[in-house]
A and B are shown apart, each in its own frame.
Chain A
Amino acid sequence: MSRPERVPYEPDPERPPPGAVYLERTIPPAYRWARFDADELAERVPQASVALALASCAEPRVCLMGISRAGKTSLGVAMIRAWVARARRPAAFVHAYRLGTARIQHPAGHGEPEAVDVAMRMPLILLDDLGSERDHAFSAVPDVIFERDAQSLPTWVTTGLTREQLVKRYGLGVVARVFERAKVIHVGGRTQRL
């Protein structure tokens, strides 16, 4: 039998890019609307912050900082969607608090929990609300940051803590691995919900 002729791959513009399906599964329903072309984003986040975020989508390390309910996560979700559409690679939205409890809820002797494993190996993750997780010895957040830094994998974070609080919480080693050569975007504006 003759082998079938190979057809060159042509992306279907109607189908979502590879990796986008997995990303959409990790994004919380509350942020499904968050895209750069969504009108809600313009209402929620100042235009200056949106422009800065759009220009930083190709950066390996981005830190979105600001007060609570300022729109950090909305902007991060829009950015990671844009990154996946451009790079055509998978990415994941990771809650810091889930990394904090993942190991406790996982049976011992069965390796890392899936959430931690995904956070360590995904080409790009948006680590949301760094510092909001419970402070205990089993938290996987520092390990994920160390592992991704060792593997030179890009990591974006959003956090409402200041530098002093982050250093007090994680130590300078972890903070340096997050912020070294990173683009820091201060998401300005007060939220309308408070």
Chain B
Amino acid sequence: MRVRRVKPYVCVDCDYAEHFRFQDTKDVDAAAGTWLRCLTYSRAQEQDGLVKASWLQRTFATTYERVEDLVRVGLLRLREDGDYELHAYAPRNQTRAMLEEERGLARERMASARNAKTSTKRRRSPEQTPNKRRTSALVPTSTSSSIKHTSTSSSPCSSPSSGVSVVEDPEIQGRYGIHEGGPGGAGAAHPRTPLPASERGLSGSLWLQAFTDGVADHTRRPCTAGRVYVSTLERLVSHHAPQRDAPSACAWLREQARAFAVLWDGKHPAKGLTPDGLERWLNDGRQGPPEFGRPRIVQPTAEDWHEDDWSDLGAEVVR
């Protein structure tokens, strides 16, 4: 069994150096750098906020006054055993117990997923089959599950003659862009992994802001979207966004929301001008609203009225 470890990271406020404790230091830049190095060291070594005195003496051998400065303002606390402890390390940054809990949950989740696959007998070989849940066309939505999911057991969509499920049907695969190995097209060789759990909490408000900005940019009306839509935006970023880092995802969301509003504002889209509506629009292939008949030509208002040039037809505008 291969254990996949993600690279550890720390969570720091963007304005952490503006904190009053840093402002009380003699050199803010030096203190901020020193404190950040202590934080990353403790997280990488899974020390739960503990910073070894030996590491500090070796790392800051010539500039140990920076450590003393941090101790003075209370960002580092001297322990009885001689080591130091970072102020308010958890829960913003994960402790060893939190990491263990998360890994345990991941193990259970994967085990249940594998058991479900084995019970439905859809594994055709003893090797690990590619993850076909992640497709570009059949992404799960807030109201529907994927086609593959519906064709598993009750099999209303299964072909009775061949015994092949809908998803395994080559015609259906071609129609919906489902290929062996994950998403269709270029993404087939690199199936997209889910976003890390922390991404939702960190970037959710930014996604919401990007969406409302994009809609309001076109409608010129205030647009609001509650936290209930964060999971929808997470799916959008996870499945559709070309770049999933927060700045790129927000820029992409803003652009897509604006394009959605341009097409559908006032045309009563399904689920409205909301992230759910945007998700449906993206999943349906960015379709515009239906047009029934030709647009009716009406007389312009006084503001839009203008005199035309008829000279090419030999007409004379008498004045």
Contact = CB atoms under 8 A, between A and B. Distances in A.
A52 B318 CA distance: 7
B319 interface: yes
B318 A135 contact: no
State which size class the interface on A falls in: 20 to 34
A183 B297 contact: no
B314 A181 contact: yes
Interface in A142-194: 160-165, 168-169, 175-176, 179-186, 190
Contacts of A68: 299
B315 interface: yes
A168 B308 CA distance: 14
B316 A184 contact: yes
A67 B310 CA distance: 18
A179 B311 CA distance: 10
Interface in A125-139: 131-132, 135
Contacts of A175: 313
A30 interface: no
Given A162-B308, A163-B310, A184-B310, A63 B299 contact: no
Contacts of B317: 184-186
Contact of B300 (A165, A176, A184, A190): A165
Contacts of A165: 297, 300
Contact of B302 (A63, A179, A190): A190
A135 B292 CA distance: 13
A112 B309 CA distance: 35
A161 B299 contact: yes
A55 B318 CA distance: 10
A90 interface: no
B227 interface: no
The residue in A61, A132, A162, A190 that gathers the most chain B C-beta atoms within 10 A of its C-beta is A162
A183 B302 CA distance: 22
A184 B318 CA distance: 6
A180 B314 contact: yes
Contacts, number: 67
A150 B46 CA distance: 94
A70 to B, nearest CB: 9
A66 interface: yes
B311 to A, nearest CB: 10
Contacts of B299: 67-68, 131-132, 160-161
Contact of B313 (A135, A160, A176, A183): A176
A56 interface: yes
B301 A185 contact: no
B296 interface: yes
A169 B313 contact: no
B310 A183 contact: no
The residue in B294, B302, B307, B313 that gathers the most chain A C-beta atoms within 10 A of its C-beta is B313
Given A55-B318, A184-B318, A186-B319, 5 more contacts: A52-B319, A56-B318, A162-B308, A175-B313, A180-B315
Which 3 residue pairs of A and B lie closest in terms of their CB atoms, listed nearest first? A163-B308, A160-B299, A181-B314
21 contacts: A63-B315, A67-B300, A131-B297, A161-B297, A161-B299, A162-B305, A162-B306, A162-B308, A163-B310, A168-B297, A169-B297, A179-B313, A179-B315, A182-B310, A182-B316, A183-B315, A183-B316, A184-B310, A184-B315, A184-B318, A186-B319
